[in-house]
A = this chain, B = another copy of it.
């Protein structure tokens, strides 16, 4: 186990009616706020009205900015920064899923910064201050509500890049599972993949002596395995939605990755996929992650076998542990398929035309490396994309 530091400053308010706390919680940070949301579903569902009433009840003035897209765009971030500066906004309330929260975080760090906000996403600068943000979550997936991550797509060149900084962690997250009842099945499935892969990116490590954290990871994975199919079968199954929503919040808060390095190669490869083809992040991960597993599993057979045995209850083959390892990958891929997810690029109607371009663009260290568990070079990334065809 590596030494670690951890502080999760996000106040969680979980359960029915938690969205009604938006006004009171926001008022603790600002009397004039930016109300940020996505494609307008919140106006159809009535959530917008509830949030607005809650803000007005607490005397919170707001400026609104809608239109955040999945794979959220830099141009909207820049628009948000401009509004916040002009209107002297003191707090940003994100209402939606990960794209909206990631955009709020980007605006938050962009406002006090003199340079271009993209600097933070292209390793040119580190943020050291931010407008405070908070979130009302309508999609259990990205876990951005508790995470230190934000991922933004720059339309100039279609680069999708992530930033990790504790300064971006939201001040509060209002989590009402009922707000996810109306999600289409595809999005529910995408969200469940995203949650699982957030855990798995941390799970696959060579770090020794991380048993408790391994088990906490496995606990979270087992719950998603159990409840995602229930939520797909019955979208207003409150208990199932609640388990998934809480799993999403835990999965990416770093709690499940303490004392170890995460890998994150699959996320980086997927970012190229969704930057070019604008596929849903979870769907892209359902394709890339199993391909990555197949490519790297011989690097640490015991760990993949542990995953198979503890998460999918595969009976360990003690003579040929590789069989156990491969069985686990098969089960995970099968689970993604059962949820209606693509598991091959062809399921997304993507051929081999731009694999080289994606491998070229895939984010890497100055030494040309992507990933930590296994250090991938450009050709490894290409091989993984080819395995995913």
Q: Which of A11, A13, A208, A211 has the most CB of B within 10 A?
A: A211
Judge whether A10 is part of the interface by a CB distance below 8 angstroms.
yes
Instruction: Let me know if A2 is at the binding interface, CB within 8 A.
Output: yes
A14 with B259: CB separation less than 8 A: yes
Contact (Cβ within 8 A) B9 A13:
no
Closest to A18 in B: B3
Instruction: Give CA–CA (A1, B15) in the complex, Å.
Output: 8
Cross-chain contact A11 with B5 (CB below 8 angstroms): yes
Q: Does A226 contact B (CB under 8 A)?
A: yes
Inter-chain contact A5/B1, CB cutoff 8 Å: no
Alpha-carbon gap, A220 to B10, bound state (A): 23
* Contact in complex: A13, B8 (CB < 8 Å): no
Residues A209 and B243 in contact, CB atoms below 8 Å apart: yes
Q: Which of A12, A17, A227 has the largest count of B CB atoms less than 10 A from its CB?
A: A12
Q: Which residue of the partner chain, among B219, B238, B246, B247, contacts A218 with CB atoms under 8 Å?
A: B219
Residues of B within 8 A of A11 (CB): 5-7
Q: Which residues of B contact A10 (CB under 8 A)?
A: 7
With beta carbons under 8 angstroms apart, the residue of B2, B18, B215, B242 that contacts A1 is B242
- Complex contact B208–A239 (CB within 8 A): yes
Given A216-B216, A219-B219, also A211-B243 (CB < 8 A): yes
With both chains docked as a complex, state the minimum distance between the C-beta of A147 and any C-beta of chain B, in angstroms: 16
A15–B4 contact, CB under 8 A?
yes
Are the C-beta atoms of B15 and A7 separated by less than 8 Å? no
CA distance A9 to B9 in the complex (A): 6
Query: Please, which residues of chain B bring their CB within 8 A of the CB of A125?
Result: none
User: A56 within 8 Å of B by Cβ?
Assistant: no
CA distance A223 to B219 in the complex (A): 13
Measured between beta carbons, the chain B residues less than 8 angstroms from A213 are: 246
Residues of B within 8 A of A246 (CB): 212-213, 258-259
Distance (Å) between the CB of A267 and the closest chain B CB? Answer: 23
Complex Cα–Cα for A11 and B13 (A): 20
A-B contact pairs, 13 of them (CB 8 A): A3-B17, A4-B12, A5-B14, A7-B9, A7-B10, A7-B12, A15-B259, A209-B243, A211-B226, A215-B222, A216-B216, A242-B259, A246-B259
Known: A2-B15, A3-B15. 16 other contacts (CB 8 A): A3-B17, A4-B14, A7-B9, A7-B10, A7-B12, A15-B259, A209-B239, A209-B242, A209-B243, A211-B226, A212-B219, A212-B223, A212-B250, A215-B220, A242-B259, A246-B259
